[in-house]
Amino acid sequence: MNITIAIDCMGGDHGPAVTVTAALAFLKTHPDAQAILVGREEALASLVDEAPAGLKSRLRIHNATQVVGMDEPPASIRAKKDSSMRVALHLVKDGQAQAAVSAGNTGALVMISRFALKTFPGIDRPAICFALPTVKGHTYALDLGGNVDCSPEHLFQFGVMGSMLAAALDHNERPTVGLLNVGAEEIKGNDLTKRTAELLRASDLNYYGYVEGNDIFKGTTDVVVCDGFAGNVALKTSEGLAKMLGFFLREEIKRGPLSMLMGLMAMPVLKRFKHRANPGRYNGAVLLGLRNGVVLKSHGSADAYAFEQALARAADAVANNLIPRIQAKMEAMMGANGNNA
Amino acid sequence: MNITIAIDCMGGDHGPAVTVTAALAFLKTHPDAQAILVGREEALASLVDEAPAGLKSRLRIHNATQVVGMDEPPASIRAKKDSSMRVALHLVKDGQAQAAVSAGNTGALVMISRFALKTFPGIDRPAICFALPTVKGHTYALDLGGNVDCSPEHLFQFGVMGSMLAAALDHNERPTVGLLNVGAEEIKGNDLTKRTAELLRASDLNYYGYVEGNDIFKGTTDVVVCDGFAGNVALKTSEGLAKMLGFFLREEIKRGPLSMLMGLMAMPVLKRFKHRANPGRYNGAVLLGLRNGVVLKSHGSADAYAFEQALARAADAVANNLIPRIQAKMEAMMGANGNNA
């Protein structure tokens, strides 16, 4: 299968140094894939120059003169018609690529992609879905983006789209779906969770029931559904805790010469631990709900290894028909529920 | 100051083995304090028998024949008029103790204490406030309990009560208050956060502004306010992540004889790290909003060390006039805001 990925090479904290390196590594491991490197030609050309001919023949540079800043307001983003992010998304819109990947400004990516690639009926804003590491493997959690005011129908759609993502990427055709709540008992929760639970129960999704925050990293279900407020809190709190624990560990190691020696000796173990807990392994959040292309958001601080994971995941989503799967399921489910909200 | 704590000795996963041991340790370090051990007399008497006379003279056993189960439904809890939890709370109601501490069923503790000890005007259910460890020290976060449907006025009251708790326990008279949100910018958030921010800004609390999930463990503010849904998600997700990381670390250490040796050598460092990250150090969540007494909820799985911390914190809250402080501030603030909702 011939897959082309449009890469916003200017986005993220490190720009082309990371994105172009990752693109070359990705092409090496994906001999059928092609890449369009979008960004300032002069910044990209020198990085590509030394690549082997076998890779060069499968990539091309597409010039885009502007860059969306990490904290730029919407009006100013809209005015940048030649930003690398917008141009990459329009390459997907025009059918020159099937997926776009960016490490840039999340809000801008959501905003431009919903206009360029359109959303499914009833979906105002694409949901952002992360694969989070668990004791057992990983769990797809959504929405971890900006949908802070959700209806039960929105959360139900997240369940449908998350299930299709697990099916496409993990070949898990009956992924279990949990609904994030403050307790597992049926009487727990607020009006939103109770009404969403009814929709999920009545559907033909593999609905597990309520799950709690600790179930995410336990891997209790394959998919965890929540509104963007709770999801953002869960994700950011986890990031904060992981950083604090890392800080504590470094402080304890640096406490004196003896503990430094002990820390040094345990370094191989700590390194493997760090690799396993490294969120970069799971880099690449999928924007779900877009009708005309796959869009992945890489973490802004991603290194080349992490950015390459996002590219690989984008290719995987295209190869496994993520969008047609979602489309078919959405049509079937929304019909079955008599619901096209 | 003469402080008496009523202890629900039957609650929690371990019952008297933990609670009585903790009570004796607490009395040892608090020579002015007294304890009423509430529970089945025959279960408690033998544990107390061997205590030194100096401690024995400051404690008494109060018989209570029933125990509230961890998953018992409300109707059945209400029927247990002689449960150790209810009797302990009624000792506070009757003025025989100033504080009650329990490691039992949270829902039951909230339910019985709001009936026995009453709440301040406008507060339906007490909020649950945890001290969470941070890079800098600790942060008081509330509500981490059951208030899943909050109005802006509720969140505002949480800000008032959290501030008074920081003032009472840390002698921090101008604690900073952050409002948990999905971004720091003013336009971020939902209707609830926006309206709450207005109330906090207009008050004479030391309002910092919006904070995100990662700010909790960063210690950006002394107090973090959120509704019980987001708070529960943040707390449980953190618990889940900490467990997963612990699991990964143990697995990496056990991977082979060499890594086991390395892990063994690093054990003193890992132990100090574990102590520092140990949530038991911060055990004892305060039920805020009760008018006639201090109530602390210990983690159900607390060991004697952790349960002792909860007892010490209860004594500290009484000694530093937590309830009168909250009462005075609530009256002043609700007046100032023309708001007695």
> For residue B138, which residues of chain A lie inside 8 Å, CB to CB?
none
Q: Determine the residue of chain A that is closest to B247 in CA distance.
A: A135
Spatial distance between the Cα atoms of B127 and B139, rounded to a whole number of angstroms: 15
Q: Are residues B153 and B37 in the same domain?
A: no
**Is 70 exceeded by the pLDDT of residue B337?**
no
More confident residue, B60 or B282: B60
**Distance, C-alpha B37 to centroid of its chain:** 20
Amino acid of residue B196: T
Give the gap in angstroms from C-alpha B333 to the nearest C-alpha of chain A. 29
Q: Are residues A140 and A245 in the same domain?
A: yes
Q: In the structure encoding, which two tokens stand for residue B302, read together?
A: 């607390």
Q: Are residues B227 and B271 in the same domain?
A: yes
Interface test with B, best of A212, A244, A258, A264 (most B CBs within 10 A): A244
Query: Among B257, B284, B311, where does a domain finish?
Result: B284
The answer for B 83-142 residues in CB contact with A (under 8 A) is 133-135
Give the gap in angstroms from C-alpha A153 to the nearest C-alpha of chain B. 18
* HEC readout, chain A: CCEEEEEECCCCCCCHHHHHHHHHHHHHHCCCEEEEEEECHHHHHHHHHCCCHHHHCCEEEEECCECCCCCCCHHHHHHCCCEHHHHHHHHHHCCCCCEEEECCCHHHHHHHHHHHHCECCCCCCCEEEEEEECCCCEEEEECCCCCCCCCHHHHHHHHHHHHHHHHHHHCCCCCEEEEECCCCCCCCCCHHHHHHHHHHHHCCCEEEEEECHHHHHHCCCCEEECCHHHHHHHHHHHHHHHHHHHHHHHHHHCCCHHHHHHHHHCHHHHHHHHHHHCHHHHCCEEEECECCCEEEECCCCCCHHHHHHHHHHHHHHHHCCHHHHHHHHHHHHHHHCCCCC
Q: Are residues B195 and B272 in the same domain?
A: yes
Q: Lowest mean pLDDT: which of A65-69, A170-174, B291-295, B331-335?
A: B331-335
Q: What is the pLDDT of residues B95-115, one digit of tens each?
A: 999 999 999 999 899 999 999
Q: How confident is the model at residue B340 (pLDDT cuts 50, 70, 90)?
A: very low
Is B237 in CB contact (< 8 Å) with chain A? Answer: yes
Q: Determine the residue of chain B that is closest to A213 in CA distance.
A: B237
Contact A238 B213 (CB under 8 A): yes
The answer for B 165-224 residues in CB contact with A (under 8 A) is 180, 182, 189-191, 212-218
Contact A213 B238 (CB under 8 A): yes
The count of other CB atoms within 10 Å of the CB of residue A137 is 10
* HEC readout, chain B: CCEEEEEECCCCCCCHHHHHHHHHHHHHHCCCEEEEEEECHHHHHHHHHCCCHHHHCCEEEEECCECCCCCCCHHHHHHCCCEHHHHHHHHHHCCCCCEEEECCCHHHHHHHHHHHHCECCCCCCCEEEEEEECCCCEEEEECCCCCCCCCHHHHHHHHHHHHHHHHHHHCCCCCEEEEECCCCCCCCCCHHHHHHHHHHHHCCCEEEEEECHHHHHHCCCCEEECCHHHHHHHHHHHHHHHHHHHHHHHHHHCCCHHHHHHHHHCHHHHHHHHHHHCHHHHCCEEEECECCCEEEECCCCCCHHHHHHHHHHHHHHHHCCHHHHHHHHHHHHHHHCCCCC
Q: What is the mean pLDDT of residues B16-44?
A: 96
Among the partner-chain residues B135, B263, B273, the one whose CB lies closest to the CB of A252 is B273
The answer for B 312-341 residues in CB contact with A (under 8 A) is none
Query: Do residues A222 and A138 lie in contact, with contact meaning Cβ atoms separated by under 8 Å?
Result: no
- What is the domain count for chain A? 2
Query: Do residues A126 and A110 lie in contact, with contact meaning Cβ atoms separated by under 8 Å?
Result: yes
Q: What is the pLDDT of residues B178-227, one digit of tens each?
A: 999 998 887 788 889 999 999 999 999 999 999 999 999 999 999 999 99
Q: Are residues B248 and B295 in the same domain?
A: no
Would you state the pLDDT for residue A74?
84
The count of other CB atoms within 10 Å of the CB of residue A285 is 26
Give the gap in angstroms from C-alpha B220 to the nearest C-alpha of chain A. 11
Among the partner-chain residues A135, A243, A262, the one whose CB lies closest to the CB of B268 is A262
Q: Which residues of A257-270 are buried (b: 16+ CB within 10 A; e: fewer)?
A: eebeebbebbeebb
Contact B216 A240 (CB under 8 A): yes
Strand ranges of the sheet holding B223-225, from the earlier edge strand across to the other edge = B59-63, B33-39, B3-8, B99-102, B294-297, B285-288, B127-133, B138-142, B223-225, B176-180, B206-211
Q: Would you tell me the crossing angle of helices B257-265 and B267-277 to the nearest 10 degrees?
A: 70
Interface test with A, best of B188, B237, B267 (most A CBs within 10 A): B237
Would you state the pLDDT for residue B1?
63
Q: What is the pLDDT of residues A317-337, one digit of tens each?
A: 999 999 999 999 888 876 644
Q: Are residues B148 and B264 in the same domain?
A: yes
More confident residue, B2 or B198: B198
CA atoms within 13 A of residue B83's CA, in its CB half-sphere: 22
Q: What is the pLDDT of residues B305-319, one digit of tens each?
A: 999 999 999 999 999
Q: Are residues A333 and A319 in the same domain?
A: yes
Angle at CA B93, nearest 5°, toward B88 and B95?
100
Tally C-beta pairs within 8 A across A and B.
164
**Is 80 exceeded by the pLDDT of residue A226?**
yes
Angle at CA A264, nearest 5°, toward B243 and A258?
100
**What's the CATH number where A299 sits?**
3.40.718.10
Spatial distance between the Cα atoms of A236 and A317, rounded to a whole number of angstroms: 26
> For residue A135, which residues of chain B lie inside 8 Å, CB to CB?
243-244, 247
Tallying the residues shown for chain A, one arrives at: 341
Q: Are residues B243 and B305 in the same domain?
A: no
Contact B268 A259 (CB under 8 A): yes
Contact A241 B217 (CB under 8 A): yes
Q: What range does the domain containing A122 cover?
A: 1-126+289-341
The count of other CB atoms within 10 Å of the CB of residue B335 is 10
Would you state the pLDDT for residue A24?
97
Query: Do residues A192 and A109 lie in contact, with contact meaning Cβ atoms separated by under 8 Å?
Result: no
Among the partner-chain residues A213, A240, A245, the one whose CB lies closest to the CB of B240 is A213
Contact A266 B268 (CB under 8 A): no
Would you state the pLDDT for residue B25?
97
Query: Among B284, B306, B326, where does a domain finish?
Result: B284
Q: Determine the residue of chain B that is closest to A145 in CA distance.
A: B182
More confident residue, B187 or B16: B16
Q: What is the ipTM of this complex?
A: 0.87
Q: Are residues B101 and B172 in the same domain?
A: no
**Which residue in the block uniquely carries the two structure tokens 């950006």?**
B220
Would you state the pLDDT for residue B339?
47
> For residue B259, which residues of chain A lie inside 8 Å, CB to CB?
268-269, 272
CB-based contacts of B109: which residues, under 8 Å, 6+ apart? B85, B89, B102, B287, B295, B297
**Is 90 exceeded by the pLDDT of residue B75?**
no
Q: Are residues A121 and A136 in the same domain?
A: no
> For residue B191, which residues of chain A lie inside 8 Å, CB to CB?
149
Q: Are residues B77 and B100 in the same domain?
A: yes
Contact B237 A236 (CB under 8 A): no
Q: Lowest mean pLDDT: which of A55-59, A200-204, A232-236, B256-260?
A: B256-260
Q: What is the mean pLDDT of residues A63-70?
A: 94
**Is 60 exceeded by the pLDDT of residue B341?**
no
Q: Are residues A151 and A266 in the same domain?
A: yes
Give the gap in angstroms from C-alpha B263 to the nearest C-alpha of chain A. 6
**Is 50 exceeded by the pLDDT of residue A339?**
no
Q: Which residues pair with B262 in a beta bridge?
A: none
pTM, rounded to two decimals: 0.89
End-to-end C-alpha distance for chain B, whole angstroms: 35
Q: What is the mean pLDDT of residues A21-34?
A: 96
